[in-house]
Chains A and B, each alone.
Chain A
Amino acid sequence: MGKRTIIPFGPQHPVLPEPVHLDLVLEDETVVDVIPSIGYVHRGLEKLTEVKEYTEMVYVIERVCGICSFGHGWGASAAIEGAMGIEVPERALYLRTIWHELSRIHSHLLWLGLLADAFGFDSLFMHCWRLREKVLDLFEKTTGGRVIFSVCKVGGVRKDVDSATLREIVEVLKGMAPEIRELADVFMNDSSVLNRMVGVGVLTKEEAVELGAVGPVARGSGLRQDMRLNGMGVYDRLGFEPIVEEAGDCEARCKVRIREIFQSIELIEKAAMDMPDGPIAAQVRGNVEGEFALRIEQPRGEAFYYTKGVGTKFLERMRVRTPTNQNLPSLVKMLKGCDFADVPIMVLTIDPCVSCTER
């Protein structure tokens, strides 16, 4: 055994958009052990249940993340709706599904850009983010916001989208598809990109099960695990089937996300075509009494929401568990045995969102 050196990685690091600290134990250039540390940006959002009414908590929980904000708003609303026994109108479910899939497209494009940036392919990074802007424009047009939308509320949604705008969304996405395909071609075929990803950071199917991996990390390791299969939204009516890759390496995780972008475009098109007329919100009366737990498939993976009320306007507990929380143990496993130079790419391929993790 060679001499061991501990290299601190983060919380401030060029490749990290958010603060996570890793103590990397190295033997020569090989990582043999990892200790993750988080906790730099704990905001105590769950504790705000003591001072925010349950209807306001939806907007607090939405602020858990600036990328998956819509999904968090949906998860919090759905947990409260479940505890109160509220039936959400069909049109609202379709709209939620469309906004959620738009979030997935913009999140995956953002991630692809960050990945390109991490291995020094700056023009690729800029093209990914240029395309992402078009999705943000769609958000702005339909909700008024580009990052935080505040369009999901307990009982349904706050804004409707007319047929002309729905057609425009589909047209914009269809127009983006060939450009995304060009970018995907670089990620999937360029040797300089593949050299950094193929066979790097392998997480086997068994390890993914053992460590509880979620989202593209789990699906990249061959697990057919996607919370869009559990009956949330209208996915069951859109013929949704999860995208799975078997290799378990960085490239597999990248492939899953790229294929999910095209899948989301198809899902949005189908939802826009099938969307029924009708109200966009149910009436909400009374306070939350009882508890409810559910999961939503965020772009980064499964997010968990638990709510408990005791009949007052304040919830006793609102719990959010984000995907990165669940993928950190898998990251530790992946890093053991890797080359020091591969650490940034591997950290990125779990698409870490540390602020979400700490809430």
Chain B
Amino acid sequence: MSEAKYAIQNFELLDLLELIPKVRSLKEEGYRLVQACATRSADGTITVIYSFDLDHVLYNFKVIVPENLEMQSITDSYWSAFIYENEMRDLFGIRFHHLALDYGGHFFKVAMPRPWNPEVVQEEEKAPEAAPEERRLTREEMLEIMGSEVEE
């Protein structure tokens, strides 16, 4: 098993400030984004794992999410990451700045908001002004984000 490409495992821990430079350098080296997901430890720490591929070998790195649950989006380098970042927003309450296509916490229709991090819901309710995007965007707003306009 150890000789196979799939058995090569690496989970490098990066500082939050290193995230964007790292993603940009991977993009330049020709890596393909495989996925991004969040995990929550028993102590409440939330970590985001990014996985990239080059020549069928996975490269993973982790970033610990700060307490304010705010991070920089990587959609600037990998546009397709909008799916993963919106999913993490819905399930963990992580807010990604400069997200190319932001569904405002309504990508998935979940019975219970932020199921992997329910504590954040109380925080959001306490300070609704801190979450102005907490509503379904209209189609026109979506199109504006995507750089299109609707002519009446």
Using CB atoms and an 8 Å cutoff, list the residues of chain A in contact with chain B.
1, 3-4, 6, 23, 25, 32-33, 35, 37-40, 42, 44, 47, 82, 87, 209-212, 225, 227, 229-232, 236, 291-295, 302, 304, 306, 308, 310, 316-317, 319, 321, 325-326, 328-329, 358
Asked whether, in the complex, the Cβ of B6 is within 8 Å of the Cβ of A319, the reply is no
The chain A residue with its CB closest to the CB of B32 is: A212
The answer for the CA separation of A225 and B5 in the assembled complex, in Å, is: 14
Q: Which of B9, B41, B42, B148 contacts A33 (CB 8 A)?
A: B148
Asked whether, in the complex, the Cβ of A25 is within 8 Å of the Cβ of B148, the reply is yes
Q: Which of B51, B143, B149 contacts A293 (CB 8 A)?
A: B51
Asked whether, in the complex, the Cβ of A325 is within 8 Å of the Cβ of B143, the reply is no
Interface mask (B85-118 → A, CB under 8 Å = 1, otherwise 0): 0000010000000000101001111100001100
Q: Which 5 pairs between the two chains have the least Cβ-Cβ distance?
A: A231-B4, A329-B80, A39-B108, A321-B35, A230-B5
Asked whether, in the complex, the Cβ of A306 is within 8 Å of the Cβ of B83, the reply is no
Interface size class of B (residues with CB under 8 A): 35 or more
Asked whether, in the complex, the Cβ of A4 is within 8 Å of the Cβ of B58, the reply is no
B150 within 8 A of A: yes
Asked whether, in the complex, the Cβ of A292 is within 8 Å of the Cβ of B9, the reply is yes
The answer for the CA separation of A348 and B92 in the assembled complex, in Å, is: 31
* A1 neighbours in B (Cβ, 8 Å): 151
The answer for the CA separation of A291 and B53 in the assembled complex, in Å, is: 18
Asked whether, in the complex, the Cβ of B116 is within 8 Å of the Cβ of A47, the reply is yes
With contact pairs A33-B148, A38-B107 given, residues A44 and B115 touching in the complex (Cβ less than 8 Å): yes
Interface residue ranges of B44-60 to A (CB < 8 Å): 49, 51, 53, 56-58, 60
Using CB atoms and an 8 Å cutoff, list the residues of chain B in contact with chain A.
1, 3-7, 9, 11, 30, 32-35, 37, 39-42, 49, 51, 53, 56-58, 60, 78-80, 82-83, 90, 101, 103, 106-110, 115-116, 139, 142-143, 146, 148-151
Asked whether, in the complex, the Cβ of A39 is within 8 Å of the Cβ of B41, the reply is no
With contact pairs A23-B139, A231-B7 given, residues A310 and B34 touching in the complex (Cβ less than 8 Å): no
Asked whether, in the complex, the Cβ of B80 is within 8 Å of the Cβ of A326, the reply is yes
With contact pairs A6-B139, A329-B83 given, residues A308 and B151 touching in the complex (Cβ less than 8 Å): no
Asked whether, in the complex, the Cβ of A293 is within 8 Å of the Cβ of B58, the reply is yes
With contact pairs A23-B142, A25-B148 given, residues A304 and B107 touching in the complex (Cβ less than 8 Å): no
The answer for the CA separation of A231 and B2 in the assembled complex, in Å, is: 10
Asked whether, in the complex, the Cβ of A293 is within 8 Å of the Cβ of B109, the reply is no
* A38 neighbours in B (Cβ, 8 Å): 107-108
Q: Which of B34, B41, B58, B107 contacts A212 (CB 8 A)?
A: B34
The chain B residue with its CB closest to the CB of A322 is: B35
With contact pairs A32-B148, A33-B146, A295-B34 given, residues A230 and B83 touching in the complex (Cβ less than 8 Å): no
Q: Which of B37, B53, B58, B148 contacts A319 (CB 8 A)?
A: B37
* B3 neighbours in A (Cβ, 8 Å): 231
With contact pairs A230-B56, A304-B34 given, residues A291 and B11 touching in the complex (Cβ less than 8 Å): yes
With contact pairs A23-B142, A293-B60, A319-B37 given, residues A42 and B109 touching in the complex (Cβ less than 8 Å): yes
* A37 neighbours in B (Cβ, 8 Å): 103, 107
Asked whether, in the complex, the Cβ of A212 is within 8 Å of the Cβ of B106, the reply is no
Asked whether, in the complex, the Cβ of B79 is within 8 Å of the Cβ of A302, the reply is no
Asked whether, in the complex, the Cβ of B146 is within 8 Å of the Cβ of A302, the reply is no
* B149 neighbours in A (Cβ, 8 Å): 4
A-B CB contact pairs (8 Å), 19 listed: A4-B150, A33-B143, A33-B146, A35-B146, A37-B103, A38-B107, A39-B107, A39-B109, A44-B110, A211-B80, A231-B1, A232-B6, A293-B51, A308-B39, A317-B39, A321-B37, A326-B35, A329-B79, A329-B82
* A292 neighbours in B (Cβ, 8 Å): 9
